[in-house]
Structures are given as structure tokens and as C-alpha cells.
Amino acid sequence: MTSPLEARSLSLVREGNTVLDDVSFTVAQGEIFALLGGNGAGKSSTLLTFLGFLEPSGGDILVNGTSVGSDVALARSAIAYLPEAAALYGHMTAYENLDYFLDLADKLASQAEIDAALERVALLVEARSRRLQSYSKGMRQKTAIALALLRETPILLLDEPTSGLDPIAIDEFHDLVKALAEGGQTILMVTHDVYGACQVADRVGLLRRGKLVGSFAAENNKRINTEAVHAAFAEREAV
Amino acid sequence: MMLRNFAREIRFLSKDRGALFWLALSFILSVIAVSFGVTEVREQRETIANLIEEDAADRANALEGQEDWGSAAYYAFHFTYAPPSDFAFAAMGQRDSTPWKHRVRMLALEAQIHEADTRNADFGLVGRFDFAFLAASVVPLLLILLLYDLRASERSASRHDFLVATAGSSLSLWFPRALVRVAGLALLLLVPLWVASLIAGASGMVTLQATGIVVGALAVWWLIVELVSRIKASPSVLLTSLIGLWLALAIVVPALSKAVIETNNPIPDGGEILLLQRETVNDAWDLPKEATMKPFIETHPEWREYAEIEEGFEWKWYYAFQQVGDQKAAPLVEQYREARLRRDRQAGIAALLSPTSFVERAFEKLAGTDAVSMIAYEDEVRDFHAELRAFHYPLMFPEKDYDSGLLAELPLYKPES
Ligand SMILES: Nc1ncnc2c1ncn2[C@@H]1O[C@H](COP(=O)(O)OP(=O)(O)OP(=O)(O)O)[C@@H](O)[C@H]1O
Ligand SMILES: [Mg+2]
């Protein structure tokens, strides 16, 4: 069976700098894979490569077994992407934003489904008809997560999904992600949040300066391979 | 599918205050431009109607009590005019800088035509604010403001990749987003034009052509904006580049080509024609009469047997030297006419370099306010004046008895268009 997401000896050069160097991993269907790494390690770049915004300078990147380069639109249609900075429109309400982006994704959703999604991310009812410019960072993040849920795509790419969320919201979010994976969605998330990643992910990959230096199963979501994690972050200062 | 994209982008546009502002401004400017034009045309029509009325009365007055053909011809003025076309409200064009009415009489004509040249005020660099000016010069700027940062603003809000990733392809996002703005702009500009066309009674065909010109110009500028905004630069860099391009295409290229064309095709001043003719006519008083009659007979051999002029004043000698004045001025007049036509032809070629000039010229042509139409009016005046002469000479030269009843057959000026 082909994996929904696969990086094969992926290398990436951005403006002359090697950002990813011979990175290989797969994410199986229904699996949560967390990519951990320090600032500038190449986490966001990895996601952008899966979305076809960056072209590999070596190796290949596949979505559902098809090279992204050969059919970008197909790859994108299988993916809901939560960007690093929640990039919804500030001058529109949550409802208007969801309406716009769902339509853009060619996805129909009823008002009840939209409300259910907003309920799942715990966005206050009173806030839903307010413009996003009056939202806190976490509220914007929740709206963006609701959008990703509503897309109902087989694959989710999440870039720092819990940044800006309070501890309770983070817990709720992790439960949500696990439920989605149980429902069959494949999830690749990138984060600096070591403990969070180990709590939610099935497997964790460690990215250090563009190289995948290790990956391990986060067994029972408890044991953390501290040595490897620290090694992954060790060269942060040098970046 | 495409329809759904448009519906979505229309909803999106309806929440974009910046874009709505520019669109509303376009509509207001179009209404203003069109009303200026309609008012101007109405005033010109009223002026013409009044002058036609006065013309008949004045002439009747002047002819009353005349006792010979010479004085009758001398005192009777005839009003000639080029009426504004039904579409002239959209482009006043050369009507602003070239006379569209002359009161003429049997005297030497060219001085009467070119007298007005020295009196006509110039509108300067900018020209009149009519629809053609709006469509040619201002609209590209509005289009730039509406489109320049479609992508760049999303990029600087770091929303670009998210949008495209969600849309799957650029085509279902940027194209409808831009098209909705361009179509909105076109509609808001054109609705006032269509309404005014209806009110003014312009032909549907002309309005349709004008619509085509506006849509074509928008498409060209859209293409320009589209090409430039593919550069991954910040919104302000894009705006600066596009405004620079607009300055070049809408202002600098037209001004430069005008300057080059004018230097390469010098035009004798209308005043020179006036002077030459006045001198010829004035000199004639002191010259021997044959000096006038000889060149006159050369062009009007039919009056040879009546060309013997006695001592003293005779009307037929007087009108002969008026005619000779025109003959003397003819080469200069022809030069003037040809040079203007040549300039116009070259301007037509140069207009291919500037969408602004192209639109302006296309509108002037549709409105009958281009250089060719104005020269055609001058030629109509010449034809009419020739008719006047053809009426008077057979009465004057054979020295027919004065009969005021015949004056009812005086030619009346009728504009061709
Ligand atoms: N737009 C860009 N153009 C060129 N190079 C870039 C660009 N964005 C990031 N980079 C470079 O790519 C490398 C990886 O960046 P990336 O954003 O993928 O890191 P990250 O792991 O997501 O970091 P962070 O934790 O800070 O989000 C960095 O060295 C960075 O300098
Ligand atoms: Mg990042």
C-alpha cells in the first residue's frame, strides 16, 4: 500500500542555501507524524514542498504515491494545510472566512457542519460573527483549525498548530488530532513543542539543519528520547 | 465551476473597502465626465440653434433696402457650423481646439476661416475632462490601483501560499479575483456612457464600438499589470513600477511622439494665411485692375467677356480681387491642410505605441471630433462659399438688374453630417 506522504532522499535549496539534505520518511494512513526541530531546521520548508510551492533540488516528494511535481493540483486537493501564521482575513468574520475558503477549496459545508467544527475547536459562539481582526492569536488559530477540519481531506499538514493556544486548548487540540487520525486522516505536523509532539504523535522525526537525524515511535505517548531531542535542538544557535 | 468562482469573488470584493472605493470613484468620475460632455454638446447645439435663428434675421435685415448685387453680397453674412454628433459628448476631441462655426460672406474666404485660429484658446496639456480622457488616461490608473497588489498584498500578509494551496490552482483564484474587479470597473464606467448615449440618441453601433474600445483598453492594461505583478516584489515596488509605466505610456510617449511629429511636419501658422490674404487683398486696391482680372479670368474663363473694368470702383473687380486673394493663399492653405492631415496620419501610427493615445483617437473618430472631421468641415465651408460665388457671379458679372426677389434663392448652409 502506498503511503499518503513520502519524502524520498529529498533535498532542497532555497536561494543558494541547502535547506533540506537527503531527507527520507513516510507517513502511513491514519498515522500522526511529528517533525521536531529548532528554528530554521527546515520544517516549514518540508510542508511547502509537499504542497508544491518549493521544488526539490534532489530526490522526490510524493502524495498518495504520485510525485507532487507531476500533478500539483491533485496533491493540493488531498491536503488541508494549516500555515505557520494563521492566514485568514482580518476584515471578515469566522463564518465569512470559512465560507470563502471552503468555497475556494470547492467544498460544500452546511451551516450545521460549520458550527459543529467551530464547536470542536471551542470557538465561542459570540465570537463567530465578529471580524477576525478583533480575535486573539489563539482564536484565529482555532478558526484556521476548524477550516482544516471542514475540508475533510485525507491528509493534514499542520505547521505549529498549537502555537498561540493556551494549555487547555492544546490538550483539546491534541485529542482532536488523535480522533482525526483514528478516523483515517493522515497527519504531518511540525513543531518545536517536544512534549506536545511526543504526546500526540505516533512517530516523531528529528530535523537538524535540514537533515533527518533520527526518528522514533513515541510509545504510549510517554517516553521521550531526550538525548536525541536535545541533539536535534543542539545546533539551534548556530543557525 | 467558473461561475461559482466568480460568485465567491464577487462576495469577496463586496467586503474589500479599498477596491469598493476605487470602483465607486470610477462610477462618479464616469458620471461627471459624461455629464460634462452632454452639457457641452447641449450648449453647442443651443448656440447653433440661436445663431441659425439670428442668421436668417440678420441677413434679412442686411439685405433690406440694398440696391445692387455687390452691396447685397457684401452685407449678407452666412452662418456655417459643424453640429456636434450624437456621440460627441463622449469625446469633444478637436472641437475644443478647432473652430466648428464660421460666419462667412462673399469676401476672400481663407482669412475668414483662419481668423478664428488666432482666437481659439488652447486647453493645454491635460485637455477636457470628457469620457474619452477618462477612459484613455484615468482608467488605467484606477485599474492599476485595483489590481496591482492582488497577489503582493496576500504575499505580504503571508496568506499567498495558503490561498493557493486551498484553491489547488491559481486559475480558480487569481483569474476570477482580477476579472471581477476588471468587469466591475468596466460596468461602472460604461453604464453612465450607455445612459448618456441613449439620452443623446447616439447610434447603438457607435455605442457598441465605444464599449469595445473601453473593454479592449482594459484588457491591454490588465495584461500589463498582470505581467508586472508576476514579479515577486513588495506591493509598493509594484505600484511604483506600474505608475512609472502608466506615466510612460499615458503621458510621456504621447507627448514625445506629438513633439516629434510636430517638429517633423511644420505647419504654417493660420495667422500667416490670414496675413498673406489680407496683404493680397489690400495691395489689390493700388494695383492696376488687370493685375487682378488676369489671374481671375484664368480660373473663371466664363466671365472673360465681362472682365473689362472701367476707371473707379466696380463690385465685380472688388469680388475678383477677393477671389484672387483666395487663389494666392491656396498653396499655403493646401500646405496647411496637408500638413495637418499628415500629422494626423502619423499620430495614428504613433498611437500604436500608447494605449492612451489609441483610445483617445478611436473615441474622437467615433464622435466625429477628429482632425479629419474638422478639416472636412472647413472643406464644407469652402464648398458653401463656392456656391455663394456661383450664385452671385452670374448676377454680378453680366451686371443683371438687381432683383431682391432672387435673393430667396441664396444658397443656405446645410451641414453634411
Ligand atoms: N522565503 C525564503 N527564502 C529563502 N530562504 C528561506 C525562506 N524561508 C526560509 N528560508 C530558509 O530556509 C531554512 C529553513 O526554514 P524553515 O522556515 O523551513 O524553518 P523552520 O524549521 O520552519 O523554522 P521555524 O521553527 O523558525 O519556523 C532557513 O535556513 C531559512 O533561512
Ligand atoms: Mg517554520
CA–CA gap between residue B282 and residue B79 (Å, rounded) = 25
Chain A nearest CA to B255, separation (Å): 43
- Give one DSSP letter per residue of A161-209, joined into a string: TTTT--HHHHHHHHHHHHHHHHTT-EEEEEES-HHHHHHH-SEEEEEET
pLDDT band at B417 (very low <50, low <70, confident <90, very high): low
* Ligand (nearest to CA of A41): 1
Sequence-ordered alpha helix ranges (H) in chain A: 43-50, 72-77, 94-104, 111-120, 137-151, 167-182, 194-200, 226-234
User: Residue B27: CB partners within 8 Å, gap ≥ 6?
Assistant: B188, B189, B191, B192
pLDDT band at A135 (very low <50, low <70, confident <90, very high): very high
H and E: helices and strands count for chain A: 8, 10
Residues of chain A with C-beta less than 8 angstroms from the C-beta of B15: 91-92, 96
Residues of chain A with C-beta less than 8 angstroms from the C-beta of B156: none
Higher pLDDT, B305 or B161: B161
Mean per-residue pLDDT, A11-16? 94
Instruction: Answer whether B153 touches A (CB < 8 Å).
Output: no
Instruction: Answer whether B158 touches A (CB < 8 Å).
Output: yes
**Which value does ipTM take for this structure?**
0.90
Lowest mean pLDDT among A2-11, A15-24, A200-209, B294-303: B294-303
Parent domain of B227? 1-417
Cell numbers linked to B242: 506600474
Mean per-residue pLDDT, B323-330? 87
Neighbour-count burial of B200, counting CB atoms closer than 10 A to its CB (0-12 exposed, 13-18 middle, 19+ buried)? buried
B161 to chain A: closest CA residue:
A53
pLDDT band at A237 (very low <50, low <70, confident <90, very high): very low
pLDDT value of position B344: 95
Our count of domains for chain B comes to 1
Kindly determine whether residue B168 and residue A106, on different chains, have CB atoms separated by under 8 Å: yes
Instruction: Answer whether B12 touches A (CB < 8 Å).
Output: yes
Tell me: the pLDDT tens digits for B178-234? Answer: 999 999 999 999 999 999 999 999 999 999 999 999 999 999 999 999 999 888 888
A85 in contact with ligand 1, CB cutoff 6 A = no
Plot region of B124 (φ>0 → left; ψ -120 to 50 → alpha; else → beta): left
A16 in contact with ligand 1, CB cutoff 6 A = no
pLDDT at residue A183 greater than cutoff 70:
yes
- Give one DSSP letter per residue of B253-288, joined into a string: HHHHHHHHHHHHS----HHHHHHHHHHHHHHHHHS-
pLDDT band at A11 (very low <50, low <70, confident <90, very high): very high
Q: Whose CA is nearest to atom 1 of ligand 1?
A: A14
A41 in contact with ligand 1, CB cutoff 6 A = yes
pLDDT value of position B123: 47
pLDDT band at B118 (very low <50, low <70, confident <90, very high): very low
CB atoms closer than 10 angstroms to residue A28: 15
**Minimal CA–CA distance to A159: which of A55, A8, A49, A61?**
A49
CA–CA gap between residue A132 and residue A90 (Å, rounded) = 4
Say whether pTM exceeds 0.90: no
CA–CA gap between residue A27 and residue A185 (Å, rounded) = 11
**Minimal CA–CA distance to B4: which of B183, B12, B400, A78?**
B12
**Minimal CA–CA distance to A163: which of A184, A137, A144?**
A137
**Minimal CA–CA distance to B349: which of B361, B340, B338?**
B361
Domains of chain A (ranges, CATH numbers) = 5-78+153-238 (3.40.50.300), 88-152 (no CATH)
B10 to chain A: closest CA residue:
A100
pLDDT band at A152 (very low <50, low <70, confident <90, very high): very high
pLDDT at residue B119 greater than cutoff 80:
no
CA–CA gap between residue B237 and residue B230 (Å, rounded) = 12
Instruction: Answer whether B4 touches A (CB < 8 Å).
Output: yes
| Torsions phi, psi for B206 (to 5 deg) | -65, -45
Q: Are A25 and A73 in contact (CB under 8 A)?
A: no
pLDDT value of position A65: 93
Cell numbers linked to A141: 488559530
Mean per-residue pLDDT, B260-274? 84
For B409-415, which contacts have Cβ atoms below 8 Å and span 24 or more sequence positions?
B410/B59, B410/B76, B410/B78, B411/B78, B411/B384, B411/B387, B412/B78, B413/B78, B413/B79, B413/B80, B413/B81, B413/B384, B415/B80, B415/B81, B415/B82, B415/B83, B415/B377, B415/B380
pLDDT at residue B125 greater than cutoff 60:
no
pLDDT at residue B41 greater than cutoff 60:
yes
pLDDT value of position A233: 67
Of the partner residues A76, A85, A104, the one whose CB lies closest to the CB of residue B8: A104
Question: Mean pLDDT for chain B?
Answer: 89
CA–CA gap between residue B89 and residue A63 (Å, rounded) = 61
pLDDT at residue B172 greater than cutoff 90:
no
Strands of the sheet with A17-27, listed across from one edge:
A17-27, A5-14, A58-63, A66-67
Q: Are A204 and A187 in contact (CB under 8 A)?
A: no
Torsion angle of C-alpha atoms A136, A140, A141, A147, degrees rounded to 10: 160
Kindly determine whether residue B158 and residue A48, on different chains, have CB atoms separated by under 8 Å: no
Cell numbers linked to A224: 521521550
Q: Are A31 and A181 in contact (CB under 8 A)?
A: yes
H and E: helices and strands count for chain B: 17, 2
Kindly determine whether residue B17 and residue A91, on different chains, have CB atoms separated by under 8 Å: yes
| Torsions phi, psi for A7 (to 5 deg) | -110, 125
Cell numbers linked to A9: 532522499
Q: Are B113 and B381 in contact (CB under 8 A)?
A: yes
Higher pLDDT, B128 or B308: B128
Mean per-residue pLDDT, B341-349? 95
Distance of CA A224 to the CA centre of its chain: 21
pLDDT at residue B4 greater than cutoff 50:
yes
pLDDT band at A221 (very low <50, low <70, confident <90, very high): very low
